[in-house]
């Protein structure tokens, strides 16, 4: 399958770097991440076009075939315009639509006026604090299954950072990491940001802006990147930060997902 969209292409890059299994079946791609089976976007099927008449039944059957034990459903559509296709077929899939904005910028970003202590995340304590930041961004305590998912994702981020394909950075206040992000590249001059997160008690201090700038410099110097990519929810405040930091809208990313049914 010839992937056109930058969002899906960099998603696949990250999955490949992390050791996921990616199988090309010509008219669809299958991604599996056995180490984290509840990670929707580590265990999904990607298709080259929006939904057409009859696709819902086929897509559902293919997902069940390739992910027989999964309780979720996740379908990526390789359509940079954001088109999802036949709305009747979308309804038949019983999925939520996530149409996010893919933004790009030249690396490094223009120098940020925000000042913060930024350093690579390296030690066991550092990584515990990264997980703490992730948990702090949840609305209330996560259920045990989701907490386990976050723990596995943090372990994956550490493995990626230590493998030399990128790095994770933390903004430090009073000796503690309170904002974090990652940036990774599989070559080709493109690097992708991951999980820009700030503890709610430390927001609006310029920490995320400082992290974005610092990581873009790392991408340019150490990863050979001339372009950095970030994906954002269109109506969430973070997208305004990215645009003000030098990013420009490039395309849309289409993802369809269904959460596991409640017991």
Q: Is the pLDDT of residue 247 over 90?
A: yes
Q: Is the pLDDT of residue 146 over 90?
A: no
pLDDT at site 145: 84
What tens digit of pLDDT does each residue of 16-34 get?
999 999 999 999 999 999 9
pLDDT at site 263: 61
pLDDT band at 174 (very low <50, low <70, confident <90, very high): very high
Q: Where are the domains of the chain?
A: 6-99+254-258, 108-225
The percent of residues above 90 in pLDDT, for the chain, comes to 91
Q: Is the pLDDT of residue 47 over 80?
A: yes
CATH 3.40.50.2000 fits 108-225, yes or no: no
pLDDT at site 30: 98
pLDDT at site 138: 87
Quickly list DSSP for the chain.
Answer: -----HHHHHHHHHHHHTT-EEEE-SS-EEEE-TT-TT-GGGSEEEESS-B-TTHHHHHHHHHHHH-TT-SSEEEEE--TT---B-HHHHHHHT-EEEEEEEEEEESSPPPPS---EEEE--SHHHHHHHHHHHHHTSSSPPPHHHHHHHHHHHHHHHHHHHTTSEEEEEEEETTEEEEEEEEE--STTEEEEEEEEE-GGG-SSSHHHHHHHHHHHHHHHHS--SEEEEEE-TTSTHHHHHHHTT-EEEEEEEEEEEPPPP-
Q: Is the pLDDT of residue 159 over 80?
A: yes
Q: Across the chain, what does the average pLDDT equal?
A: 95
Residue range 200-204: average pLDDT?
A: 95
Q: Taking the complete model, does pTM exceed 0.85, yes or no?
A: yes
pLDDT at site 113: 80
What tens digit of pLDDT does each residue of 101-137 get?
999 999 999 988 878 899 999 999 999 999 999 999 9
pLDDT at site 160: 96
pLDDT at site 262: 67
């Amino acid at each position: 399958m010839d992937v056109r969209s930058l969002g899906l292409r960099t998603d696949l890059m990250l999955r490949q770097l992390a050791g996921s299994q990616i199988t090309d079946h010509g008219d669809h791609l299958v991604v599996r991440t056995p180490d984290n089976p509840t990670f929707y976007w580590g265990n999904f099927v990607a298709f080259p076009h929006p939904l057409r008449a009859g696709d819902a039944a086929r897509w559902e059957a293919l997902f069940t075939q390739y992910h027989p034990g999964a309780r979720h459903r996740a379908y990526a559509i390789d359509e940079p315009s954001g088109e999802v296709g036949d709305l009747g077929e979308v309804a038949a899939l019983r999925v939520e639509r996530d149409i996010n904005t893919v933004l790009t910028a030249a690396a490094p970003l223009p120098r940020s006026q925000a000042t913060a202590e930024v350093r690579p995340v390296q030690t066991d304590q550092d990584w515990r604090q990264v997980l703490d930041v992730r948990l702090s961004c949840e609305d209330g305590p996560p259920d045990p299954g989701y907490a386990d998912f976050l723990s596995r994702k943090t372990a994956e981020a550490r493995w990626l950072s230590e493998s030399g394909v990128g790095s994770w950075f933390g903004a430090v206040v009073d000796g503690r990491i309170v904002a974090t992000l990652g940036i990774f590249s599989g070559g080709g001059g493109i690097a992708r940001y991951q999980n820009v997160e700030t503890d709610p008690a430390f927001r609006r201090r310029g920490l995320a802006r400082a992290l974005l700038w610092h990581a873009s410099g790392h991408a340019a110097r150490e990863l050979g990147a001339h372009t950095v990519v970030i994906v954002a929810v269109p109506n969430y405040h973070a997208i305004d930060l990215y645009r003000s930091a030098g990013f420009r809208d490039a395309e849309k990313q289409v993802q369809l997902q269904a959460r596991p049914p409640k017991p």
